[in-house]
Structures are given as C-alpha cells and as structure tokens.
Amino acid sequence: MENIEYEINYAIEHMMENNYPRKEFWGMDSKVPGLSCGIRAGDDGVVIGKSVYNMEGPYPLILGSKTALIHTTCDIVAMGAKPLYAMDAIQAANEEEIEIAIDGLKKQSIGLNIPIIGGNTQTIESLKSCMSVVVFGELISDKIIRDSGSKDNDVMLMLGHPVEGDIGERVQKAKNKFDTFLDVLKNDIEVHACKDASRGGWLCNILEMLLKAQNGVEITGLPYPRATRYLGTYLVSVPEDEVSNILEIAVKHRCPLTPFGRVTSEKVLKIGNNEYIDNEKMNELIKNFPYKS
C-alpha cells in the first residue's frame, strides 16, 4: 500500500460506477414475487425464495476459461447458498477458441461439482472473444448472508487463499474457501456480513460493506499489501466471540483466516494511527450510495 490515498480514491470510484444502471432498474424488484434481495440491495447475488442467482462477465475469453465459473460461484456461497448448476455464454473467434473456453469451463465445472446445463456459443467476427457465466444456488438455511449486516464492534476477517495460478490451483483454492465458509454456516456460527473481495480489491469491498451498514472501520492488520487487487477471498464480519469458532473450522479445512480490523459506530476509515476518511466524508459517501442496510 505504497500510495494509500490513490488506492482509496480508486476504490471509491470503482464502488460508485454501478450506480446509474442500478438506479435505472430500481423499480424492477417489486415486479418479482418472493424476491428478497435484488437491484435495490446491490448485493453479490439475487435471492428469490431460497434460490440464489449470480451472473458475472463478460470476461476476456482466456481469463474466463480459467476463472469465470469460480468467480461467479464465489458470490453464491458468500450469501449462504450451495451452488447447484450453471449456464454460460461464449463469444469466440473460431473453433480453436471455443475448445479453449469449453475445456477450461469443463475443468472448473468438474472440480467444483457444478454442472453446466446450457447456454449459448457463437462466433461473430465483429465481436471480441469473451464469456459470461450464471450460477444457480440454494440457501442452506433460512438466513441470507448479506454484505450489509456489519455491526458495531464486529471483527473483520479475511477468509481463504488468493485465487490465482492455473485452473487446477484456482479450483482447489476456491473450493477450500467454499467448503470452509459453508461449514461455518452449517455449524450455526453467527455471521453478520460477507462479501467477495473481487474487482476493486479488499479496500473497495470493505468500504461498500460499511457504507451499506452505515458504520466505520479501524484496520489493524494488512490482509494483502495491494488493497485494490482482485483476490477472490471473503471479507467476513462477525461478533468477536465467534472468531475462535471460525478459526477452529478454518484449521480443520487448512483455510487461511486473518483478522485485520474492527467495525466501529464512528463512521471513519482508520488504518493504524491515521484517519483516511473522516466522519464528514463517510457521511457524504453514504448519502450518495444508493444501497442501504
């Protein structure tokens, strides 16, 4: 974090970029019976009844062949759901690229045990090669784990390995995180909030969690030195007395777990002894951010 001010400004800019499209679809939630988490929540996935859906992309085709299904599934599990199956949409330049995309998605599908049951594949010369994936899941209990539920004095944890490497490594690291987090929930451990540290990095995503919860945070550790890098880990907000219970499960799964901050009722972003976003600025961000807890 050589230039923390730059990374904070980058995180804020990234966090606000989806405001316009979501506002344009703001009234759509009321048209869907049983929807409990949609456009207005701005959460990682959409929840209708006990069904959870998430779509990601378009990814550049080569990157998507390594991570599209993994990344899309992250948000399903973060909300407390077991992923069930998926569909894809592929734009390729030629048959060779189709084989690359399908081979990579198949490896991810087999490794995560998430069947791909349909989708669309095309080769239109005027379009860039890319892919998108949608994953369908089901809540493992009646509780939705939202990204907005952080409470005063919660401990902020980072859970999981950074998802990087070849397809096999990415699948193994992602599955390790999924299994650990779902095991936490199956053991009725209280989790107030969870969010995938995805594009924008852990700093962007923790700020989004806090704006929705209308709280602040004191960062007491450094979970990863580059605050704006995609990690694929989970940011988890829990009561302090649950940390040891989560650690016990993380040890069983050999899953990395790093406490790195504490949620505060004072609306500030503090890192060590320095306050980088004060109460006035945080309230301004909350006011301009459409999604609330």
First-residue to last-residue Cα distance in the chain: 29
pLDDT of residue 137: 98
pLDDT of residue 92: 97
pTM of the model: 0.92
Q: Which of 51, 44, 68 is nearest to 137 (CA)?
A: 51
pLDDT of residue 13: 78
Q: Which of 181, 229, 221, 180 is nearest to 202 (CA)?
A: 229
pLDDT of residue 2: 54
Task: Give the contacts of 149 (CB within 8 A, at least 6 positions apart).
Answer: 192, 193, 213, 237, 293
Q: What does the DSSP assignment read for 253-273?
A: HT--EEEEEEEESS--EEETT
Check the CA dihedral 241-245-246-248 and report its sign. Answer: positive
pLDDT per residue, tens digit, the chain (293 aa), is: 557 777 888 777 777 777 788 889 989 999 999 999 999 888 889 999 999 999 999 999 999 999 999 999 999 999 999 999 999 999 999 999 999 999 999 999 999 999 999 999 999 989 999 999 999 999 999 999 999 999 999 999 999 999 999 999 999 999 999 999 999 999 999 999 999 988 778 888 999 999 999 999 999 998 887 887 888 999 999 999 999 999 999 999 999 999 999 999 999 999 988 899 999 999 998 888 877 55
pLDDT of residue 236: 98
pLDDT of residue 3: 74
- b/e code 229-247 from CB counts within 10 Å (16+ = b): bbbbbbbbbbeeebbebbe
Q: Rounded CA gap, 150 and 146, in Å?
A: 9
Task: Kindly list the structural domains of the chain, giving each domain's residue range(s) and its CATH number in brackets, ordered by start.
Answer: 36-139 (3.30.1330.10), 155-288 (3.90.650.10)
Q: Rounded CA gap, 290 and 161, in Å?
A: 31
pLDDT of residue 292: 56
Check the CA dihedral 29-198-206-78 and report its sign. Answer: positive
